[in-house]
Amino acid sequence: MPEGTERVDERKTGSVWDNFVRISMREAGVAIALVVIVLFFSATAPYFATPENFLKIFVQIAINTVLAAGMTFVILTGGIDLSVGSVLALCTVVGATIMVNPDLSPWVSIPLALIACMATGAACGAINGWVCEKWKVPSFIVTLGMLNVASGLARVVSDNSTITGLPQSFVDFGNQIYFGVLPSIFLIAIVVIVIGWFILRFTVFGRFVFAIGTNEEAVRLSGHNPRIFKIAVFTISGLTAGIAAMVFLLRLNVGSPIAGIGYELNAIAAVIIGGTSLSGGKGSIVGTLVGACILQVLATGLQLLGAEDNVKPIVIGTVIVLAVVLDTYRNRLLRNLEAR
């Protein structure tokens, strides 16, 4: 049994109460922060506490949530994926190009675009992972390269233009709101989060993701090949970038080579605020969802409050650092609890 998996398994032991305290400490920290921020803006910012505003925030977080879900896998193994924004751009132009093809009926073109987006994204991710592992290059560098490559490819595919004229049924689905509270694209984001949560929590693969982030050498020594899992997490990250591209198309109805600029940093920020450790081995995808919510609630709340444009990034930047600082304090508390 590798040391890493042992530690993960250990969490399942202990009394129910201890487990409850531990899990709520782990997950609730950021959730409480989110609630506090929401309450603050509800009290201070006009129009913040309205159904339309929350509906809008649900729509606005969808893209980043999907990207951050895949990013969580990569960061849990101790890697980083800087290419997701550009890969998203590439996938939007690939998907849009297929959907605007007049020879294809929407019944064919929409599923085809979805498959093409996911395949393109997954391929980019697989290349990232494979290069990292084959030549032992840090993922920071490989994905930085992919950031440029995918961006250039997006420009080639789209011939530097924004692609419009997506099928009406596709556009309508993007505007769809279920039960008056669930926008279709938010629903997609939630489904991605749930699948990600399931994989990390209940599958052997998920356990290996944590184990590699905790102690890769131990995984290797136990006779398992971490290489395959590491390639897989980058492939997942690329795959979610492809799904995020479909969400982008549903939300903005255009494919664009300049889509997604800077999105990688928003995704990383959501993961980190959500309590996942940059050095890997520790974190949760539910936290990532909360992290994405915090980022967008801050951005929207500050605008509704009438904050200056220049003040917004200062506040958001401070919150990112604060989240990590609080996280280390929480860890100390957790350790004390576990030592008890």
Partner 1 sequence: MTSFSSDGRSLSGMNRRQLLLAGAAGSLVLVSGVAPSFAAAKPKVGLVMKSLANEFFKQMQAGAEKYAAENTDKFDFKAVGMKDERDFAAQVDAVENFVTQKYDIIVVAPADSKAMVTPLAKALKAGVKVINIDVELDAGAKKNAGIDLAFFGPDNRGGAKLAGDALAKALGAGGKVVILEGNPEADNAQQRKAGFMDSIAEGKLELLDSKTAHWETEEANTLMTNFLTQYQDIQGVMAANDSMALGVVKALDAAGLSGKIQVVGFDNIPAVQPLVKGGKMLATVEQYGAKMAAMGVDYGLREMAGETFTGWVKTDIKLITAADL
Residues near partner 1, by CB under 8 A: 46-47, 50, 52-53, 56, 59-60, 63, 155, 158, 160-162, 164-165, 171, 248, 251-254, 256-259, 261-262, 299-300, 303-304, 306, 309-310, 313
Dihedral in degrees, nearest 10, Cα atoms 271, 127, 87, 30: 0
Output the smallest distance, CB 9 to partner 1, in A: 41
Output the smallest distance, CB 207 to partner 1, in A: 36
**What angle, 0 to 180 degrees and rounded to 10, lies between the N-to-C axes of helices 226-252 and 106-134?**
150
The b/e string for 14-37 (b: 16+ C-beta within 10 A; e otherwise) is: eeeeeeeeeeeebbbbbbebbeeb
Q: How far apart are CA 268 and CA 81, in angstroms?
A: 9
Q: Is the CB of 63 or the CB of 189 nearer to partner 1?
A: 63
Return the closest-CA partner of residue 87 out of 153, 13, 36, 141.
153
Output the smallest distance, CB 219 to partner 1, in A: 39
Output the smallest distance, CB 297 to partner 1, in A: 12
Specify which residues 183 forms β-bridges with. Answer: 177
DSSP letter string, 289-305: HHHHHHHHHHHHHHHHH
Q: Is the CB of 59 or the CB of 116 nearer to partner 1?
A: 59
Q: Is the CB of 223 or the CB of 262 nearer to partner 1?
A: 262
Output the smallest distance, CB 119 to partner 1, in A: 24
Q: Is the CB of 47 or the CB of 135 nearer to partner 1?
A: 47
Q: Is the CB of 100 or the CB of 278 nearer to partner 1?
A: 100
